[in-house]
Amino acid sequence: MSDNSESQFEGLSSLVRLTGANVPARARFVGETVLVSTLSSLTLGLVCGQMGSFWVLDSVGPLVPYLVGSWVGYSMGMLNQWRTSKRLALSYAKKYPTLMAYALRQEWDVKVGSTKNLDRWIQNGGLGIMTMSILAAQSCRADVEEIQQKNRQRLVEVYGDGGERSPEEE
C-alpha cells in the first residue's frame, strides 16, 4: 500500500482541500480519528444489535449487544488508526529521514542524532517519541505528497519521451 493511500478518508481530505479551507495537519488527523472510530462504533454496534434482536435471549434484548458492539467497534477503530499512523510515521522516517528529523526538531524540540536509522530510533524511543513522530508525520504529509507527485511527474515525462519501457510493452 502506498503512503498516500494509507488513510481510509484520503478522498475526504482532497475534498476539503478543494474548498480552499486550510486545515492544519493535526486537526485533519483528529478529524480522521473521530470519523474512523465513530463509523467503526456505529457499524459494529448496529450489526451486534441486529444480531442480538434475532439470536440473544429475550431477557437481554438488542440494547446490550449494541452497546458491547459499539464499544468493541470504537476500540477497534482507534487501534486501527494508531497502527495506520504508526506505520505512516515509520515509513516517512525510513524514506524521508531528513524531513522527519526536521519536523521533530522544529515542532517538538527533539534532539535527533543521526538520520541514518531514524525509523529504528523512533521505535526504540518509547511511546513519547512515537507519538511525537506520528504528529510530525502528519505535519510532513503535504510535503511528502508533493515529493511523490514530482517523482511521478518525472516518470511520466520519461515514459512520454520513449526513454523507458514498461515490462508489459516488451
Residue 38, pLDDT score: 96
Residue 18, pLDDT score: 61
Span 129-159, pLDDT tens digits: 999 999 999 999 889 999 999 999 999 988 8
8 Å CB contact between 99 and 144: yes
- Cell, residue 85: 499512523
Which H or E run contains 13? helix 10-18
CA angle 127, 33, 139 (to 5 degrees): 65
Residue 127, pLDDT score: 95
Q: What is the pLDDT along the chain (170 residues), one digit of tens a residue?
A: 444 445 555 665 565 556 656 778 788 889 889 999 999 999 999 999 998 888 766 667 788 999 999 999 999 999 999 999 999 999 999 999 999 999 999 988 998 988 889 999 999 999 999 999 999 999 998 899 999 999 999 999 888 776 665 555 54
Residue 1, pLDDT score: 42
Among the listed residues 105, 102, 112, the one whose alpha carbon sits nearest the alpha carbon of residue 144: 102
31 vs 39: CA distance, rounded Å: 12
